[in-house]
């Protein structure tokens, strides 16, 4: 079994951190993972995305895919290049706090999460991507909350340790907001 997911947004929205956390969480749950992050020439405000392939056996192909089974979308600005990669029935978890535009709700399974509002209410607007990643994990059953928290603790560099508590709160809030596994993609997902 392989599951491809792409995260997309604007540089500075923690897309790369969110993808790294999801990749580490999957590895902690004994899954095989490949991960590729890409970004434009600017640190903030430019295009950034990441592609992960999570599998139950070694992944032989690089994480450059023409089609994906899921997308985590932080912002509408760079969504258009991802749109044609979504398969029919793809899971799309979108930050409804920022996303403006149309989503084909007949073709995809769209889940609107007010990630920026949730993160801001928790006191850390920069953790909005983590809210979305955790909601995606809960909705799909791809990884558990404790693996996400452990993956986050492994991913945050030493000079950013002051953000661990806020990041954990964001992960917990996103997982809780999703409430249940309604779009299972992994064997054994409830």
Q: 121-171: per-residue pLDDT in tens?
A: 999 988 999 999 999 999 999 999 999 999 999 999 999 889 999 999 999
Residue 154 lies in a domain: yes
Residue 24 lies in a domain: yes
What digits encode the pLDDT tens for the residues 21-48? Answer: 999 999 999 999 998 888 776 666 667 8
Average pLDDT over residues 76-104: 91
Q: Compute, in degrees rounded to 10, the torsion defined by CA atoms 151, 180, 36, 81.
A: -150
Residue with structure tokens 């969480």? 25
Average pLDDT score, the chain: 89
Specify whether the CB–CB gap between 72 and 96 falls below 8 A: no
Residue 83 lies in a domain: yes
Residue 7 lies in a domain: yes
Show the domain range for 128.
2-178
**Coil, strand, or helix at residue 101?**
coil
Residue 93 lies in a domain: yes
Tell me, what's the pLDDT at 105? Answer: 95
Specify whether the CB–CB gap between 133 and 72 falls below 8 A: yes
pLDDT of 12 over the 70 cut: no
Q: What spatial distance separates the first Cα and last Cα of the chain, rounded to whole Å?
A: 17
Specify whether the CB–CB gap between 108 and 72 falls below 8 A: no
Total domain count, the chain: 1
Residue 32 lies in a domain: yes
DSSP output for 13-52: S-HHHHHHHHHHHHHHTT-EEEEEEEE-SSSSSSEEEEEE
- Among residues 117, 137, 119, the alpha carbon closest in space to that of 182 is found at 137
Residue 87 lies in a domain: yes
Residue 184 lies in a domain: no
Specify whether the CB–CB gap between 110 and 92 falls below 8 A: yes
Question: What CATH number should be reported for the domain holding residue 26?
Answer: 3.40.920.10
pTM: 0.92
């Amino acid at each position: 079994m392989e599951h491809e997911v792409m995260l997309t947004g604007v540089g500075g929205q923690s897309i790369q951190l969110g993808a790294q956390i999801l990749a580490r969480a999957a590895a902690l749950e004994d899954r095989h993972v490949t991960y590729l992050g890409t970004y434009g020439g600017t640190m903030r405000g430019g295009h950034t995305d990441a592609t992960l392939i999570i599998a139950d056996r070694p992944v032989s192909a690089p994480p450059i895919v023409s089609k994906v089974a899921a997308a985590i979308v932080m912002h509408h600005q760079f969504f258009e290049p991802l749109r044609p990669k979504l398969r029919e029935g793809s899971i799309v978890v979108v930050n409804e706090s920022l996303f403006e535009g149309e989503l084909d709700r007949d073709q995809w399974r769209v889940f609107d999460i007010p990630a920026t509002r949730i993160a801001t209410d928790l006191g850390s607007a920069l953790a909005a991507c983590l809210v979305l990643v955790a909601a995606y994990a809960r909705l799909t059953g791809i990884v558990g909350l404790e693996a996400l928290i452990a993956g986050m603790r492994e991913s945050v560099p030493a000079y950013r340790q002051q953000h661990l508590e806020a990041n954990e709160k964001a992960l917990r809030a996103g997982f809780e907001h999703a409430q249940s596994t309604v779009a299972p993609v992994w064997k054994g997902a409830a």
